[in-house]
């Protein structure tokens, strides 16, 4: 060992000896959490989705969430829209930048664990006072009045991560980065589901406009017949006015549906990330047969399939590490500082070894003495945030279960509602024919014909809404189970 380092090592030894004593003293100085004790998260979920949803569920089969959106949706037009949305949607692109920011934070935190090394180069000049002891000595020894100063070297500092404070902070940042990835996946499921709902809504509006146009034409023909019957004195002017008002009402209703169709198209275009333009769709998709029962898997599968549940799990683990980081602030920290380089007032002798060589090694032990209040506040805040993440995780899991149960119930109820609506449409279609025959034979008045046609139209429109609700429920189950992001 060089003799120059012996005094330095001699100073380090007492500090290291005091480090152990300080650690023991500080271990008993951690503040109380004042009854706000952390608790373990409850990951238990019911074994099924309840009796109300059992009719639409196949629990033992693989979950629908395992299917990609390309496998789940059969419409080529819809799949093309989804693919474009995953590429161009602005919200997803914004979320991608959040992922990059989180990944950069991970790199920054990991860098804190390793020694910091800097290189320096300096040039200067110094003039000392003649009327000082140093000035008199320089004058006797012939040191120049204007003394140059040349130096270069390396410096390193390293906080030894004894209590894993830096490593825990880096791991917490890594978990939050993974949580942002899960957050993007959850956004994908929402965008896919919203796009699919809007697509089927657009097709339903097309069908409703078609039904309305057909009924307007039929009612216009009926209006002409009533006018002829008025001329034959079989009906009064009141009948003509009532039929004409009904035609005008349905013609005006067409513009309301057209506006809704424009908004549905533009909502799809917005999700796809493009300006308003016609949306390609297949009207026959609304007639595709839907499965009677859906593969749901078990409720416990939500822990692995739902991105928002996995995101909450990662944030929970990160919050636990944050508590450990805040707790480590009570303990002493040990740092090492070293430096090596050359320094001389004569540039020609700057690298003369060992005359111009200099180096240093020092160890520092620091422990908090008077800032306990601030450390305690940060520790309690980190603990409270960790408890918040526990509750947030449990709420997310509960919401996931409720979402699936609601949508499974909706699948069953919308199916039965549509079947009854279809029967109503068929029955009212027959009643329209009967009312026409009775009216022409003067066995029914014009109001019966008018009301029967009105009821038939409303039944057809509601049947289309019921059919769309079936698709919405199916999409809702797929989304609630955690499908769409794969």
Distance in angstroms (rounded) separating the CA atoms of residues 216 and 247: 6
Neighbours of 374 (CB within 10 A): 11
Indicate the pLDDT class of residue 1, thresholds 50, 70 and 90: very low
Neighbours of 342 (CB within 10 A): 18
Contact of 173 with 102, CB cutoff 8 Å: yes
Does residue 62 lie within any of the structural domains?
Answer: yes
Q: What is the pLDDT of residue 202?
A: 95
Contact of 64 with 477, CB cutoff 8 Å: yes
Q: What is the pLDDT of residue 474?
A: 92
Which tokens in the block code for residue 195? 């796009």
Which residues, 6 or more positions from 412, have their beta carbon under 8 angstroms from its beta carbon? 52, 53, 55, 56
Q: What is the pLDDT of residue 5?
A: 41
Q: What is the pLDDT of residue 12?
A: 46
Q: What is the pLDDT of residue 473?
A: 92
pLDDT over 70 for what percent of the chain? 84
Q: Is the pLDDT of residue 22 over 60?
A: no
Cis peptide before 415 (omega within 30 of 0): no
Does residue 71 lie within any of the structural domains?
Answer: yes
Does residue 242 lie within any of the structural domains?
Answer: yes
Q: Is the pLDDT of residue 486 over 80?
A: yes
Which tokens in the block code for residue 176? 């939050």
Domain count, the chain: 1
Q: What is the mean pLDDT of the chain?
A: 82
Q: What is the pLDDT of residue 443?
A: 58
- C-alpha radius of gyration, the chain, whole number: 39
Which tokens in the block code for residue 284? 């026959």
Indicate the pLDDT class of residue 8, thresholds 50, 70 and 90: very low
Provide the H-helix boundaries in 55-148.
Answer: 69-72, 76-88, 90-111, 133-141
Give residue-wise pLDDT tens across range 326-382.
888 888 888 888 999 998 888 888 888 888 889 899 988 888 877 788 888 888 888
Q: Is the pLDDT of residue 214 over 90?
A: no
Q: What is the pLDDT of residue 17?
A: 46
Give residue-wise pLDDT tens across range 40-60.
888 888 887 876 556 666 666
- Mean pLDDT is highest, among 7-11, 141-145, 398-402, for 398-402
Indicate the pLDDT class of residue 396, thresholds 50, 70 and 90: very high
Which tokens in the block code for residue 67? 């299917």
- Tokens 């683990």 correspond to 317
Q: What is the pLDDT of residue 201?
A: 94
Contact of 48 with 54, CB cutoff 8 Å: yes
Task: Kindly give the interhelix angle for 237-272 and 165-231, rounded to the nearest 10 degrees.
Answer: 160
Euclidean distance between the first and final Cα of the chain, in Å?
A: 61
Q: What is the pLDDT of residue 13?
A: 45
Q: Is the pLDDT of residue 18 over 60?
A: no
Please give the model's pTM, rounded to 2 decimal places. 0.81
Q: What is the pLDDT of residue 193?
A: 94
Give residue-wise pLDDT tens across range 131-175.
888 877 777 877 787 888 889 899 988 888 888 888 888 888 898
Does residue 11 lie within any of the structural domains?
Answer: no
Does residue 4 lie within any of the structural domains?
Answer: no
Indicate the pLDDT class of residue 287, thresholds 50, 70 and 90: confident
Q: What is the pLDDT of residue 440?
A: 61
Which tokens in the block code for residue 338? 């070293």
Q: Which residues form the domain of 433?
A: 39-113+161-330+389-480
Does residue 139 lie within any of the structural domains?
Answer: no
Give residue-wise pLDDT tens across range 368-395.
877 788 888 888 888 899 999 999 999 9
Q: In angstroms, what CA-CA distances link 165 with 113, 324, 334?
A: 9, 7, 12
The whole-number average pLDDT for the span 72-93 is 91
The answer to which of 54-58, 88-92, 312-316 has the lowest mean pLDDT is 54-58
The whole-number average pLDDT for the span 410-419 is 90
Strands 57-58 and 294-295, by their bridges, are parallel
Does residue 142 lie within any of the structural domains?
Answer: no
Report the CATH number at residue 293: 1.20.1600.10
Contact of 463 with 203, CB cutoff 8 Å: no
- Judged by phi (left if over 0) then psi (alpha if -120 to 50, else beta), residue 50 lies in left
Distance in angstroms (rounded) separating the CA atoms of residues 407 and 197: 14
Give residue-wise pLDDT tens across range 440-455.
656 555 566 667 777 7
- Mean pLDDT is highest, among 19-28, 90-99, 314-323, for 314-323
- Half-sphere exposure of 416 toward its Cβ, with a 13 Å CA cutoff? 7
């Amino acid at each position: 060992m060089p003799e120059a380092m012996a005094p330095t090592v001699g100073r380090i030894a007492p500090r290291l000896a005091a480090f152990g004593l300080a650690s023991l003293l500080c271990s008993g100085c951690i503040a109380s959490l004042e009854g706000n004790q952390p608790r373990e998260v409850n990951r238990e979920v019911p074994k099924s989705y309840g009796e109300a949803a059992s009719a639409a569920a196949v629990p033992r089969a693989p979950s629908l969430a395992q299917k990609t959106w390309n496998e789940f949706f059969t419409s080529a037009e819809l799949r093309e829209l989804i693919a474009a949305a995953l590429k161009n949607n602005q919200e997803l692109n914004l979320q991608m930048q959040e992922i990059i920011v989180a990944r950069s934070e991970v790199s920054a935190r990991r860098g804190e664990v390793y020694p910091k090394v800097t290189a320096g180069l300096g040039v200067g000049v110094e003039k000392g006072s003649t009327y000082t002891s140093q000035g008199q000595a320089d004058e006797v020894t012939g040191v120049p009045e204007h003394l140059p100063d040349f130096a270069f070297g390396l410096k390193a500092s390293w906080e030894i991560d004894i209590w894993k404070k830096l490593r825990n902070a880096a791991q917490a940042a890594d978990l939050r980065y993974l949580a942002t990835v899960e957050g993007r996946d959850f956004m994908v499921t929402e965008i896919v589901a919203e796009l699919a709902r809007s697509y089927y809504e657009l097709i339903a509006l097309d069908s409703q406009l078609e039904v309305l146009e057909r009924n307007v034409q039929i009612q216009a023909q009926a209006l002409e017949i009533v006018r002829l019957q008025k001329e034959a004195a079989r009906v009064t002017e009141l009948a003509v006015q009532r039929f004409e008002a009904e035609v005008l009402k349905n013609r005006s209703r067409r513009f309301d549906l057209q506006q809704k169709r424009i908004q549905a198209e533009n909502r799809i275009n917005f999700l796809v990330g493009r300006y308003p333009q016609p949306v390609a769709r297949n009207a026959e998709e609304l007639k595709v047969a839907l499965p009677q029962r859906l593969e749901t898997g078990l409720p416990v599968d939500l822990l692995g399939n739902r991105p928002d549940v996995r995101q909450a799990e990662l944030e929970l683990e990160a919050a636990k590490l944050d508590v450990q980081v805040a707790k480590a602030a009570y303990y002493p920290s040990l740092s090492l500082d070293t430096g090596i380089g050359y320094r001389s007032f004569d540039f020609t002798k700057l690298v003369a070894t060992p005359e111009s060589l200099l180096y240093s090694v020092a160890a520092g032990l620091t422990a908090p003495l008077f800032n306990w209040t601030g450390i305690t506040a940060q520790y309690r805040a980190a603990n409270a945030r960790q408890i918040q993440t526990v509750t947030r995780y449990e709420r997310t899991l509960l919401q996931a279960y409720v979402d699936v149960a609601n949508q499974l119930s909706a699948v069953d109820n919308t199916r039965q509602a549509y079947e009854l609506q279809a029967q109503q449409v068929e029955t009212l279609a027959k009643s329209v024919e009967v009312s026409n025959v009775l009216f022409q034979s003067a066995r029914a008045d014009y109001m019966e014909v008018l009301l029967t046609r009105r009821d038939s139209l409303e039944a057809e429109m509601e049947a289309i809404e019921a059919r769309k609700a079936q698709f919405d429920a199916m999409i809702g189950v797929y989304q609630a189970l955690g499908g769409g992001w794969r």
